[in-house]
Structure 1
Amino acid sequence: MTPEYQASGAETRLAEPRSGLAEVPAGKVGAGEAAMDDIEAIRQLKARYCRLLDTKDWDGFRELFTDKAVMDTTSSGGNALTGGDAIVDFVRRALTEAVTVHHCHTPEITATAPDMATGIWAMEDRVRFPDGTDLTGYGHYHETYTKTDSTWQISSLTLTRLRVDFARPDSA
């Protein structure tokens, strides 16, 4: 059932106020609308993460992380790193010569403050290493985000894997 609204002067309000629904003056963005804009900005941030990583745009990739960002891939055989520069340096060294395809989907994003949010993303990645070995991984990214100067960045990222499949090239 959709709520009924009444307009009076410069205000728009619920005709019958209900618990949990805030009154929002006309022409103003409500908290829900602002949160949805932030959620969409975070979705775009993660889309850029996948594209910039796969296209090896390391300068663009660096812009996605705060200076004090933390990346933890220890549960999937990687490292724990602190600092945006350290994260990009590690990823660059590990994947520059590999062909990668990253997909992230079904995000669960929660705004925890006007300038902070958390997210969990289902992920699949495919990596072909220079020796021909293929990795296909499935799991989740658990992330936190910080908004500074109207721009969202990743402040922490933890990769958890549910499954990893390796295929080695045939040796003939």
Structure 2
Amino acid sequence: MGIDTADRLALHEIAARYGDLIDARDWPGLAHVFTADAVFDLRDVGDGQLEGLDAIRRFMAGSQHPLAHHITNIYVTEDGGEPVLHSRVIGILHDRRAGSGRYTDTVVRTPAGWRIQHRVFHLHRRPSAEPGSPAAGG
């Protein structure tokens, strides 16, 4: 298939738009990011898989999100000629701590433009430190 510069720019826009929509709590606007049949895999944080745009919207409306989503490190790779969108998120949590994670998105071109069809979220966790190591404070 081959991803050209215009496609890459459009995919970067999706990643950025997602952060703004979540921060604005604009759940209807998620149709500009996800397909109607999208799957959002949140198993890494214990929230299972959300099946379909309506389920994603309900989850977002009913959960406590970070106050700010900063989407960074956006890039596109190809898997079998199909684009895969990668990005990182830094979020400011309600207790004022920061958290981060990464998204890996399978994207498709629709009549309305590029949309995420399958998203996997992985939370970044501090590696467990061995006793006596500098990371463990010893």
Please list the CA deviations of residues 60-102 of structure 1 after superposition, one character each: whole Å capped at 9, or x if unmatched: 123311111010111123221110111111011103xx56201
1:118 to 84, 90, 101: 84
TM-score normalised by length of structure 2: 0.79
Deviations 1:139-158 (A, max 9, x none): 21111111111501111111
- Give yes or no for contact 1:62–1:88 (8 Å, CA) kept in 2: no
- Name the counterpart of 1:87: 56
**Any unmatched runs of 5+ in structure 1?**
1-30, 165-172
Structure 1 residues 112 and 148: CA distance shift in structure 2, 3 A: farther
- Structure 1 CA distance for aligned equivalents of residues 111 and 87 of structure 2: 25
Identity of matched residues, %: 27
Question: For 1:1-172, what aligned pairs fall within 5 Å after superposition?
Answer: 35-95=4-64, 100-112=67-79, 116-128=82-94, 133-149=95-111, 151-163=113-125
> Does 1 or 2 have the higher relative contact order (CA < 8 Å, sep 6+)?
2
Q: Distance in 1 between matches of 2:66 and 2:52?
A: 25
- Cα deviations by residue, 1:119-159 (Å, 9 ceiling, x for unpaired): 1212211221xxxx345211211111111115011111111
Q: Give 1 or 2: higher helix fraction.
A: 2
Corresponding residue SS for 1:86: helix
- Larger fraction in strand: 1
* Greater Cα radius of gyration, structure 1 or 2: 1
C-alpha distance in structure 1 between counterparts of 2:32 and 2:10, whole Å: 14
Tell me, in whole angstroms, the C-alpha distance in 2 between the residues paired with 1:150 and 1:55.
Answer: 22
Q: What RMSD over aligned residues (CA atoms) do the two structures have, in Å?
A: 2.3
Tell me the TM-score normalized by structure 1.
0.65
Equivalent residue pairs, number: 126
C-alpha deviation, 1:108, in angstroms: 2.4
> Take 1:123 and 1:87, find their aligned partners in 2: how far apart are those partners?
18
